[in-house]
Amino acid sequence: MLRRTFLGLLGGAGALAALPATAGAAGKHFGPHPDTMAVLFDATRCIGCRQCEKACNEVNNLPAPEKPFDDMTVMDTERRTDDKTYTVVNKYATEKGGVFRKMQCNHCLEPACASACFVRAFKKEPNGAVTYDASVCVGCRYCMVACPFSIPAYTYNDPITPRVVKCTMCSPRLAEGKLPGCVERCPKEALTFGPREEIIKIARARIDAYPDRYQHHIYGEHEMGGTCWMYLSGAPFSEIGMREDLGTTSAPELTSGALAAVPMVVGLWPVLLGGIYAVSKRNQKVANAEKVMAVKNALTKASSEAEKKLSEELKKADVANKRLIEVEVKKAVEEALSAKDEDAASSEEES
Amino acid sequence: MSTVEHASAQRKSLFTPFNIVAAIILAAGLVVTVMRFTGGLGAVTNLDQNNPWGIWIGFDLLCGVALAAGGYTTSSACYIFGLKKYHAGVRPAILTAFLGYALVVFALGYDVGRPWRLPYPIFVQQGTTSLLFEVGLCVMIYLTVLFIEFTPAAFEWLGFKKIRNIVVKMTLALTIFGVVLSTLHQSSLGALYTIVPSKLHPLWYSPYLPLFFFVSSICAGLSMVIFEGTLSHKPMHHLMDKEYLDNHDGLILGFGKGCSLILFGYFAIKVIGLAYDNNWHYLATGYGAWFLVEILGFVALPSFLYAIGARDRNIPLIKWAAGLTVFGIIVNRFNISMVAFNWQLPSQLRYFPSWGEITISLFVVTIGVLAFRFISTRMPIFYEHPDYKGEH
């Protein structure tokens, strides 16, 4: 491996430590922008004519649907947004009779899709729209997993240029000073477009004016940290296919804890692991030293004992030898003496 | 049987049952590959607008990464915790981890819409608010680290002494770096799901998901080393040297003991997670029964079996516990990514994998096994190279 490549990798590790810090500072919040626009959908006004669906299809140049927009039988089954549709209207049987509810991207103030996207393909525009840039999209579909409203769709049958499909809040039209296609077309004023602050006031005014007609809740004011599409309904929201258990915590807040832990691990783990290594190595060294010392001591003890024994043996041997010599000498002397005696005796006999 | 005799026997019997099955899977995989890249994801998968992630994420990514955790667990046991007696187990574990991660990335090439853009999040535009960015960055760096950790075996095989010695000197730094990266991406895989409290069943959703994934990955790694050592023991026996074979039972006992303890800790934090969110009442539901099967049958039970196995020095029991743990980790990752995900949708809108998806997952595993066999029968994986004996 080239030295430069390795250094580059180390740099990458450094970046790893630095990145989440910047993410925490700059990326935790995508909005809200002060002049965020919003749309109010009033389910008590919607007659399910599907004109909004048709307008959306036209202004966004989406492919023609299988069944025409004046075919109302499509509402017999609950539909969702898909790779050919940015918005659908569903019909729900409720305690207040049949109620229609439009569904499209809610353009969250803190979008889950934008927070989840690892290539920043989603952007929260100052006008409130959450837009998508297919030119960088890898196609991991984590945005679809993350979206609490299950809105983004994917062109699964496109092998070369598959992409995510979702409502843009007609961001290009807003830039031209036009209304979103669906809002412009709605014949019953079930859709109201305006600055988000104003829209909330309008919604609250309607609830105050007709407290018996409405649920006393503006759906989207706080859900998932707040959205740019908000809803009024006569029937409970759960009866018109809207989750009431989403809570008010925005998606980026849900993951901020896990992200915040990353730089801590990068900082502390090497110290902890290096410490464990040092302790285990030292333990081993001490254990080895003790072993060596023990062997040495044993050897010294053994050798001194052996020496002692040897000298004792030698001493014993010495004594034995001395006695042996004494005996031998004595014997020799005795022999010599007796020989002398014999000589004397024989000479006596001879003489 | 001597090595020479064995090698010639292998050459003669290329058409072993294993090779035939592998060839069939590879052929089927190639067919599905062509379909996937000519017809798009829709042509071979059951993915839809409600279920954007299937088994290519649930198995190939989540299980693949968890089961490749043997690399960092074994190398840190040996080099950081100073348990030198596990040295012979490091190379097989590193090789498995390297192949595992390489195949995870390979499999992602099937799952993402435009795989040629996989480097985009790192080199073109960084989505630093995303936990998937964190996973991607760590997996990319860790794959490189694992590759470097693996290279000494290749260099010994090739006879590149000098560079081999340089890499070996970096062992401790690489090991620590590897543990940091593994901690981060193992936990971040769990953290991916912290963004969907509304879609994941409360029994599996927890703010502690990152911790659950990290701790269970240690169990997965230790168990996988035991499990895989058992699998490769027979076919690779002729390659294993005295050090490997002498230490094998010791490694199984030691890892079994460790895994018993960590599984116990994992069980404890799972229960604490349950208590933290006060989700006890869900235990009385159908999902609750399945949750109990998971944490009693695949966490508490193997922890207990490991403990008995370690106490009685019962090697076969430890091996069974390892198999159970590995299976349990797969069950857990499947539960989080598929079974308990989108639990509120009516059954006709739920996901079930297609044959095409299953084929590709089998295809990827088969490539992994074949690559492991190819490398471990050529390079010094189960034995020490004679030139470098006793150097550690």
Shortest Cα–Cα distance, B277 to chain A (Å): 15
Q: What is the pLDDT, as a whole number, of residue B44?
A: 96
Reply yes or no on whether the pLDDT at A322 is more than 60. Answer: yes
> What is the sign, positive or negative, of the torsion defined by CA atoms of A105, A106, A111, A112?
negative
Q: What is the pLDDT, as a whole number, of residue A142?
A: 97
Reply yes or no on whether the pLDDT at A29 is more than 60. Answer: yes
Tell me the pLDDT band of A128, cut-offs 50, 70 and 90: very high
In this structure, the dihedral spanned by the alpha carbons of residues A315, A317, A319 and A322, taken in order and rounded to 10 degrees, is -130
Strand A229-232 relative to strand A37-42, pairing: parallel
Q: What is the pLDDT, as a whole number, of residue A25?
A: 39
End-to-end CA distance of chain A: 119
Contacts 24+ apart (CB under 8 A), A303-310: none
Task: Name the token pair of B290.
Answer: 């399945």
Q: What is the pLDDT, as a whole number, of residue B235?
A: 80
- Mean pLDDT across A299-307: 92
Name every chain B residue with its beta carbon within 8 A of the beta carbon of A81.
Answer: 49
The answer to whether the Cβ–Cβ distance between A254 and B50 falls below 8 Å is: no
Distance (Å, rounded) from C-alpha A149 to C-alpha A254?
Answer: 16
For B40, the closest of A16, A159, A254 (CB atoms) is: A159
Tell me the pLDDT band of A32, cut-offs 50, 70 and 90: low
DSSP one-letter string for A27-86? IS-----TT-EEEEEETTT-----HHHHHHHHHTTPPPPSS-TT-GGGGGS----BTTBS
Residue B187 or A33, more confident: B187
Contacts of A77 (CB under 8 A, 6+ apart): none
Residue (of A219, A228, A102, A87) closest to A166 by Cα position: A87
Q: What is the residue type of B261?
A: L
Task: Name the token pair of A230.
Answer: 């908000």
Strand A164-165 relative to strand A229-232, pairing: unpaired
- Mean pLDDT across A225-249: 95
Is the peptide bond between B52 and the residue preceding it cis, with omega within 30 degrees of 0?
no
A30 within 8 A of A110, measured Cβ to Cβ:
yes
The answer to whether the Cβ–Cβ distance between A261 and B187 falls below 8 Å is: yes
For B117, the closest of A138, A246, A251 (CB atoms) is: A138
Distance (Å, rounded) from C-alpha A116 to C-alpha B128?
Answer: 9
The answer to whether the Cβ–Cβ distance between A138 and B47 falls below 8 Å is: no
Which of A110, A117, A119 would best serve as a mutation to test chain B binding (most B beta carbons within 10 A)?
A119
In this structure, the dihedral spanned by the alpha carbons of residues B168, B171, B174 and B177, taken in order and rounded to 10 degrees, is -170
Shortest Cα–Cα distance, A104 to chain B (Å): 14
> What is the sign, positive or negative, of the torsion defined by CA atoms of B210, B220, B139, B337?
negative
Reply yes or no on whether the pLDDT at A12 is more than 80. Answer: no
A317 half-sphere exposure, CB direction, 13 A CA radius: 6
The answer to whether the Cβ–Cβ distance between A80 and B188 falls below 8 Å is: no
Q: What is the pLDDT, as a whole number, of residue A337?
A: 87
Low-confidence ranges of chain B (pLDDT < 50): 1-5, 8
**Looking at chain A from residue 73 to 92, which residues have their Cβ under 8 Å from any Cβ of chain B?**
80-83
Residue of B nearest to A161 (CA): B114
Distance (Å, rounded) from C-alpha B29 to C-alpha B42?
Answer: 16
For B210, the closest of A258, A270, A273 (CB atoms) is: A258
The answer to whether the Cβ–Cβ distance between B81 and A22 falls below 8 Å is: no
Distance (Å, rounded) from C-alpha A238 to C-alpha A93?
Answer: 11
Distance (Å, rounded) from C-alpha B66 to C-alpha B214?
Answer: 9
The answer to whether the Cβ–Cβ distance between B138 and A16 falls below 8 Å is: yes
pTM of the full structure:
0.87
Reply yes or no on whether the pLDDT at A6 is more than 50. Answer: no
Name every chain A residue with its beta carbon within 8 A of the beta carbon of B188.
Answer: 258, 262
Size of interface A-B (CB pairs under 8 A): 203
Q: What is the pLDDT, as a whole number, of residue A11?
A: 46
A278 half-sphere exposure, CB direction, 13 A CA radius: 6
Average pLDDT, chain A: 89
Q: What is the pLDDT, as a whole number, of residue B4?
A: 47
Residue (of B199, B200, B129, B333) closest to A255 by Cα position: B129
Contacts of A195 (CB under 8 A, 6+ apart): A35, A36, A37, A38
For B179, the closest of A1, A27, A273 (CB atoms) is: A273
Burial call B114-152: b when 16+ CB within 10 Å, e when fewer: beebbebbbeeebbbbbbbbbbbbbbbbbbbbbebbbbb
Number of residues that this document lists for chain A:
351
**Per 3-state DSSP, what percentage of chain B is helix, strand, and coil (rounded to 5)?**
80, 0, 20
Residue (of B74, B76, B75, B88) closest to B391 by Cα position: B88
Tell me the pLDDT band of A320, cut-offs 50, 70 and 90: confident
pLDDT in tens, B229-264: 888 877 888 888 887 888 888 899 999 999 999 999
Name every chain A residue with its beta carbon within 8 A of the beta carbon of B134.
Answer: 20, 259, 262
For A13, the closest of B49, B177, B187 (CB atoms) is: B177
Q: What is the pLDDT, as a whole number, of residue A145?
A: 97
Q: What is the pLDDT, as a whole number, of residue B255?
A: 94
Reply yes or no on whether the pLDDT at A24 is more than 50. Answer: no
Q: What is the pLDDT, as a whole number, of residue A22?
A: 39
Reply yes or no on whether the pLDDT at A31 is more than 90. Answer: no
B200 within 8 A of B333, measured Cβ to Cβ:
no
Q: What is the pLDDT, as a whole number, of residue A13?
A: 46
Distance (Å, rounded) from C-alpha A146 to C-alpha B349?
Answer: 18
For B179, the closest of A136, A269, A280 (CB atoms) is: A269
Share of chain A above pLDDT 90, in %: 77
Distance (Å, rounded) from C-alpha A256 to C-alpha A167?
Answer: 27
Distance (Å, rounded) from C-alpha B382 to C-alpha B241?
Answer: 7
Task: Name the token pair of B125.
Answer: 């535009």
The answer to whether the Cβ–Cβ distance between A162 and B114 falls below 8 Å is: yes
Q: What is the pLDDT, as a whole number, of residue B89?
A: 87
Distance (Å, rounded) from C-alpha A253 to C-alpha A261?
Answer: 13
Reply yes or no on whether the pLDDT at A188 is more than 70. Answer: yes
Q: What is the residue type of B301?
A: L
* Secondary structure element (H or E) that encloses residue A241, with its range: none
Reply yes or no on whether the pLDDT at A110 is more than 70. Answer: yes
The answer to whether the Cβ–Cβ distance between B112 and A251 falls below 8 Å is: no
Reply yes or no on whether the pLDDT at A346 is more than 80. Answer: no
The answer to whether the Cβ–Cβ distance between B52 and A83 falls below 8 Å is: no
The answer to whether the Cβ–Cβ distance between B195 and A251 falls below 8 Å is: yes
The answer to whether the Cβ–Cβ distance between A247 and B197 falls below 8 Å is: yes
Which of A273, A276, A282, A288 would best serve as a mutation to test chain B binding (most B beta carbons within 10 A)?
A273
Task: Name the token pair of B121.
Answer: 């999040």
Q: Which of A180-189, A337-346, B289-298 has the lowest mean pLDDT?
A: A337-346
B109 burial (CB, 10 Å; 0-12 / 13-18 / 19+) is middle
